């Protein structure tokens, strides 16, 4: 993603830049939407999602090449509907003026805070959960009385196209607008002077988004990933630890910003954990290639990236344990076997970059304090 300063000066305005100006003008005519108006917008969105539930599931499945219906319901559809319910319940209370205490120096004055909408909120959607991470921030933007512009991911085109149609039909007054395009379009989108900008994605792109927004002093909410650790305490039942971690790691084939990125396990229990983890994954997914419950990698490029991590680790002394290796050959698919990485070290790419896939390094430790120190000396992850 490029910053706005790198764009050619003679470049003609993009249509969404004109739409943004219209959004700002429309908001200026109604700067404080009523509670009933906000609730109506949420009801419209709720009904649209219910009506298009099956189509959304099919679109996500098409983009991934395979995504379990249950995963899309559990991780995308249900949380959005719950979020709408939560906001509807609290909107009127959130809108009420809030009293604040004042110091004696200004008594008998009184102070109140009046919550107000910001204006036009920009939302940049990632590809891993293209439904939830589109509608979830939109819910709160609408609940707060804002208008919104959404940039969908070019790596989930079927879902993005469907969401654009849903939004256009649901909000013909353009309270919400959807745009699509590649990284160049995303750069121009994040350079617009939004009243707030929401981005979910990688740390590297997050830095560029914040850089683009800084030119306009646009407040930014970043939800980034990182190398989220899971620590197995020496006294915790090893099979239960493997069961819980395998569930978190296998959802969306590890393509989750809060997926366990690596495991810290007492050195005396590493082999037992690996065995229990492999058993759990094999039990959940007895075969991989034709298993509709096992999610594929979003693109061939992402699969090549993950395979590159494994090759790099192996060349630097790692031992790879491919879970359920008897599965059909996956070379012709976008799927990957879950793979454990032993003897991993900080010289390997798999320990330097967020994995975001079905690869799980296991790091041994002697004491819990040692494990905590290992985590704390690294950059803070999302989870």
Active site positions, annotated? 223, 257
- List Cβ neighbours of 210 (8 Å cut-off, separation of 6 or more): 220, 222
DSSP 296: P
Nearest to 128 by CA among 354, 286, 328, 279: 354
**Torsion sign across C-alpha atoms 317, 321, 322, 326:** positive
Burial class (CB in 10 A: 0-12, 13-18, 19+), 149: buried
Nearest to 330 by CA among 291, 289, 371: 289
Contact 135, 49 (CB under 8 A): yes
Distance CA(14)–CA(279), nearest Å, equals 53
Backbone angles phi, psi at 90, to 5 degrees: -110, -10
- List Cβ neighbours of 276 (8 Å cut-off, separation of 6 or more): 238, 239, 241, 242, 243
Name the residue with tokens 């099919």.
58
Distance CA(15)–CA(8), nearest Å, equals 17
- Beta strand residue intervals within 228-291, DSSP E: 229-232, 262-266
Distance CA(233)–CA(370), nearest Å, equals 12
Distance CA(252)–CA(364), nearest Å, equals 26
Backbone angles phi, psi at 54, to 5 degrees: -65, -40
Nearest to 145 by CA among 254, 20, 42, 266: 42
**Tokens (6 digits) for 283:** 């039990």
Distance CA(291)–CA(19), nearest Å, equals 43
**Tokens (6 digits) for 318:** 């790692």
């Amino acid at each position: 993603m490029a910053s706005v300063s790198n764009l050619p000066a003679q470049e003609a305005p993009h249509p969404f830049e004109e739409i943004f100006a219209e959004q700002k003008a429309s908001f200026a005519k109604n700067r404080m939407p009523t509670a009933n108006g906000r609730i109506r917008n949420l009801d419209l969105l709720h009904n649209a999602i219910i009506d298009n539930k099956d189509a959304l599931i099919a679109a996500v499945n098409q983009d991934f090449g395979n995504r379990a219906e249950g995963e899309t319901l559990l991780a995308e559809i249900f949380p959005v509907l719950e979020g709408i319910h939560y906001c509807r319940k609290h909107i009127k209370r959130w809108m009420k003026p809030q009293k604040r205490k004042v110091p004696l120096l200004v008594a008998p004055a009184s102070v109140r805070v009046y919550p107000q909408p910001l204006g036009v909120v920009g939302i940049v959607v990632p590809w891993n959960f293209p439904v939830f991470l589109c509608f979830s921030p939109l819910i709160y933007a609408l609940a707060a009385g804002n208008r919104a512009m959404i940039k969908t991911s070019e790596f989930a085109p079927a879902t993005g196209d469907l969401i654009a149609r849903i939004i256009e039909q649901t909000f013909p007054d353009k309270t919400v607008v959807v745009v699509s395009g590649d990284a160049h379009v995303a750069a121009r989108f994040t350079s617009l002077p939004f009243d707030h900008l929401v981005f979910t994605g990688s740390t590297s792109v997050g830095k560029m988004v914040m850089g683009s927004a800084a030119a306009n002093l646009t407040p930014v909410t970043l939800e980034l990933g990182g190398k989220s650790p899971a620590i197995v305490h020496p006294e915790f039942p090893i099979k239960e630890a493997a069961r819980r971690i395998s569930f978190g790691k296998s959802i969306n084939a590890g393509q989750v910003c809060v997926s366990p990125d690596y495991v810290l396990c007492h050195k005396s229990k590493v082999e037992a954990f690996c065995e229990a983890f492999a058993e759990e994954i094999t039990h959940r997914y007895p075969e991989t290639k034709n298993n509709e419950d096992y999610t594929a990698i979003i693109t061939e490029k992402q699969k090549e990236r993950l395979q590159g991590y494994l090759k790099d680790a192996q060349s630097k002394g790692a031992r790879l344990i491919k879970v359920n290796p008897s599965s059909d050959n996956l070379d012709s698919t976008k799927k990957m076997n879950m793979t454990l990485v032993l003897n991993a070290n900080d010289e390997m790419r798999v320990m330097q970059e967020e994995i975001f896939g079905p690869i799980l390094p296991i790091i041994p430790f002697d004491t819990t304090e040692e494990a905590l120190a290992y985590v704390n000396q690294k950059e803070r992850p999302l989870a």
